[in-house]
Structure 1
Amino acid sequence: MNKTSIRIGAGAGYAGDRIPPAVELARHGQLDYLVFECLAERTIALAQLERRQQPDKGFDPLLAERMRAVLPVCMAQGTRIISNMGAANPLQAGHEVLRVAKELGLQGVKVAVVQGDDVLKRLLTDGLDLPLIDSDAPLSSLQDRLISANAYLGADALLPALQTDAQVILCGRVADPALFLAPLMHHFGWAANDWPQLGQGILVGHLLECAGQITGGYFADPGFKGVPNLARLGFPLAEVQADGSAVITKVNGSGGCVTVATCTEQLLYEIENPARYLQPDVVADFSQVRLTPDGADRVRATGANGQQRPDTLKVTVGYHDGYIGEGQMGYAGPGCVARGQLALELVRQRLQDAGLGQLEARYELIGVNSLLPQAQATTEPNEVRLRVAVRSPARQQAQLVANEVEALYTNGPAAGGGATKSVREVVAAAAVLVPRGWAQPDVTLLG
């Protein structure tokens, strides 16, 4: 608490993120904390399905690999790890970290596990009349298809874990910026109702939460926005002062860049209203944020504010939403577009004859109109790839879609090849707002 600044690194921005940049941060970032943000909207519902089938699973599949890569150096340097890699099974994830520590011969590793975000039972008991966000329907409209319901906890849920001597803090669903705000509150002793200060902390968390996006990933556009050495993209870290002002930077010599432009794109990412960014800890106000250069690959972020936190918590609800049957086929050479279009019409007619014509569907030629549906080829491409995807309530119908595309081999235009087909279950996400008291976080210390 006597330090005047703190260094926090972003080791991941999604579940499948690359591991080498996190190792580079751990080794050379001189970090106090390394944060792995690995939960998207539907990720936890998929993890809940896995946990039902295998009770000892349901956490991030890369957890062990990430821990093998960074835990030894973090232990040696005194860097604490915070992550939502616990997903649907934080407690088992904690035991997995201890297993990896034992495998590596590390002594004295402790893990603090934060639980309490799973509110499915409470919703089924008391919340079926709650309205879905962005819909007029009540939650009861999804009742028979529900998989999961997890509340976005705030930094306050993580603080008791940070007050232990655990080197690793694992949780499930927590608001992404809260993973970064919590160590700031813990380290600097910020009050839970210091809304302007918390708003600045949320700014730091929001800038870091997507990892490589702020160092040039998802930014590069050759000829317009160049990013040096993108193959060795480095992940960001923040040097944060006690007043919440921060400098976003990266490890010297790592690839990518940190500029006002990269930071501006990340600042606006997934923000509906910059003046009212709703978080469980605070309603953050980014409308007066200033991003200013502070040297090479260094951008200073200041000017965030905040207002009193909401009385409710957002809950992401995962539910079954049918199946998607998909098939692809490639056509090349002269006339490939005409052959591809003929193949699409054949599949469309055959599915209509099978009684599936009313289902939601995509019929497209990749290379012509798959991303821009109204586009027309201005010149004849050398190759196209047909794609048909249909959403259906039954797996058998989805399988028929995939089979009909494959059947183009011998029942369609000339010279089709490279067919692929798949059927996958659709797990969709919705959201409701619940009273804050419905989530009861608790901490278990392992090790």
Structure 2
Amino acid sequence: MKTLRIGSGAGYSGDRIEPAVELAEQGDLDYLVFECLAERTIALAQQARISDPDGGYDPLLSERMRRVLPFVGVQAGRRRLRVVTNMGAANPVSAAIEVRRIAAALGLDLKVVAVVGDDVLKVLQPDFLLDNGQSVGSLGERLISANAYLGVDGILEALRADADVVITGRVADPSLFLAPQMFEFGWAADDWQRLGRGTLVGHLLECAGQVSGGYFADPGFKDVDDLARLGFPLAEINADGEALITKVAGSGGRVSRATCTEQLIYEVHDPAAYLTPDVTADFSRVGFVEEGVDRVRAQGADGRARPEQLKVSVGYLEGWIGEGQMSYGGPGAVARAQLARDVVLKRLELIGVKLQDVRAELIGMDSLHGPRSGVEPWEVRLRVAARCEERSEAVRVGNEVETLYTNGPSGGGGASKSVRQVVAVASLLLPRNAVKPRIEA
């Protein structure tokens, strides 16, 4: 029986590159998938494309492709390796052009195909309601993006066109992994059980190092070896969608029943109805069996008919955040930091800074869990951040923290300040027939 090997080259936009190269070189893969597109990431990419029409794709695309393209395509004595990725972000076409340029510079003859159609900004109507209660029309000029979560359709079309590299924009994370399985095994679009199983594979692999022990690690409780050389996972899959999760031999990390179980429940609201564009997956009876060191069999997934609507991620501008920080150390550090906090909050009130929201915290004391009792630390860092409608108001927040240098209390140091624009994200649902994925070769 044919076995398909799919590896996960990234779990988010800024992920490490070395484990992906290790997979490409030593993983004996058919497919290497880079999942790099969070909801806020694509809104930021759309914002970047506004200032640069040729930009808007993942900033690490070029470096990642330079490192892995030498292993892509048909090579003697190796499986044919293909790459599937959503690093196209807000501009898959420009991303594909960049990958072709890199391939040519490396002397490689590769077919690179872009999948488009997820950008549905022009489809939205002013009376459409977002999940936060606002209407699309109320956003006005603050609206910057609207991207539908595509499924496997565009990727399948690209693979049928014999693409070596498939570059997408917003595609549901598991779909990046499901499409190669459907293509290689010839699964029908309504073979719900196999699609459910294939979606489980995608869900386990989509966060890369999380399932191979990265986010799992907790010293003294859940120890993981050689975390600095964490290996990213791969799946060995058969034609029925049964999969074994593993990693490159000798790489750091761990693949176990426990790591897979933690990843299984990641971002799953209802295990019996995990909604994707391709299938309503049922993970409620999933189980894991350890078949050896770093070899875990995943079984029990099922599926039902896919939803008739697609989720759309809408990005819009929501003001500015101004922030300032200052450290205090030694005897009385906490008391001085508390006084500094009181001073800054009072100053913001005295000078009339227009705030929508403000947060003032002592990192190491109350920034995560609120006020607590116990032994005071020898050092503490004050952080004051506020959201403002205008950038000029946000700037004043960090300035007030910085003035603690000379205006007291004593012993402050290591001041920093910053201002950043807030890109907020909300969601809505669109009928499936309003979204038209297609490829551009």
Normalised by the length of structure 1, the TM-score is 0.96
2: CA distance, partners of 1:277 / 1:128: 30
Q: Secondary structure at the match of 2:71?
A: helix
* 1:62-211 map, 5 Å: 62-75=60-73, 76=75, 77=78, 78-106=80-108, 108-123=109-124, 127-133=125-131, 135-211=132-208
| 1:20 aligned partner, one-letter code | E
For residue 357 of structure 1, report the CA deviation from its aligned partner: 7.0
2: CA distance, partners of 1:436 / 1:128: 19
1:31-59 per-position Cα deviation (integer Å, ceiling 9, x unaligned): 00000000001111111111111111110
2: CA distance, partners of 1:308 / 1:380: 56
Query: What is the aligned partner in structure 1 of residue 28 from structure 2?
Result: 30
| 1:302 aligned partner, one-letter code | Q
1:96-121 per-position Cα deviation (integer Å, ceiling 9, x unaligned): 00111122122x21101100000001
Q: Which moved more, 1:237-246 or 1:436-445?
A: 436-445
CA contact (8 A) 1:152 1:173 kept: yes
| 2:20 aligned partner, one-letter code | A
2: CA distance, partners of 1:359 / 1:251: 50
Query: What is the aligned partner in structure 1 of residue 279 from structure 2?
Result: 282
User: Is the alpha carbon distance of 1:326 and 1:37 closer, same or farther for their aligned partners in structure 2, counting shifts above 3 Å?
Assistant: same
1:371-406 per-position Cα deviation (integer Å, ceiling 9, x unaligned): 112324x11211000000001111011000010000
CA contact (8 A) 2:354 2:388 kept: no
1:417-437 per-position Cα deviation (integer Å, ceiling 9, x unaligned): 000000000001000001112
1:86-105 per-position Cα deviation (integer Å, ceiling 9, x unaligned): 00010010010011112212
1: CA distance, partners of 2:115 / 2:9: 19
* 1:27-426 map, 5 Å: 27-75=25-73, 76=75, 77=78, 78-106=80-108, 108-123=109-124, 127-133=125-131, 135-356=132-353, 359-376=356-373, 378-426=374-422
CA contact (8 A) 1:117 1:152 kept: yes
Runs of 4+ in structure 1 off by over 4 angstroms are: none
2: CA distance, partners of 1:202 / 1:228: 29
Query: What is the aligned partner in structure 2 of residue 8 from structure 1?
Result: 6
Long gaps (5+) in structure 1: none
| 2:122 aligned partner, one-letter code | K
For residue 137 of structure 1, report the CA deviation from its aligned partner: 3.0
1: CA distance, partners of 2:42 / 2:434: 19
| 2:30 aligned partner, one-letter code | D
| 1:428 aligned partner, one-letter code | A
In the alignment of these two chains, the number of paired residues is 437
| 1:120 aligned partner, one-letter code | L
Work out the percentage of aligned pairs sharing the same amino acid.
62
2: CA distance, partners of 1:181 / 1:375: 47
2: CA distance, partners of 1:248 / 1:139: 42
CA contact (8 A) 1:348 1:357 kept: no
CA contact (8 A) 1:247 1:299 kept: yes
CA contact (8 A) 1:175 1:280 kept: yes
2: CA distance, partners of 1:71 / 1:214: 25
2: CA distance, partners of 1:313 / 1:380: 51
1:252-302 per-position Cα deviation (integer Å, ceiling 9, x unaligned): 000000000000000000111111111001111100101111111011011
Long gaps (5+) in structure 2: none
2: CA distance, partners of 1:227 / 1:72: 31
For residue 358 of structure 1, report the CA deviation from its aligned partner: 5.3
1:436 equivalent in alignment to 2:432: yes
CA contact (8 A) 2:361 2:383 kept: yes
Q: Secondary structure at the match of 1:197?
A: helix
RMSD (Å) for aligned C-alpha atoms:
1.1
For residue 352 of structure 1, report the CA deviation from its aligned partner: 1.2
| 1:345 aligned partner, one-letter code | D
Query: What is the aligned partner in structure 1 of residue 16 from structure 2?
Result: 18
2: CA distance, partners of 1:410 / 1:169: 56
| 1:179 aligned partner, one-letter code | L
CA contact (8 A) 2:355 2:388 kept: no
Q: Which moved more, 1:417-426 or 1:192-201?
A: 192-201
Q: Secondary structure at the match of 1:14?
A: coil
| 2:421 aligned partner, one-letter code | E
1:171-224 per-position Cα deviation (integer Å, ceiling 9, x unaligned): 000000000000000000101011111111110000000000000111110000
Q: Secondary structure at the match of 2:284?
A: coil
Q: Secondary structure at the match of 2:98?
A: helix
2: CA distance, partners of 1:357 / 1:381: 33
| 1:273 aligned partner, one-letter code | D
Q: Secondary structure at the match of 1:42?
A: helix
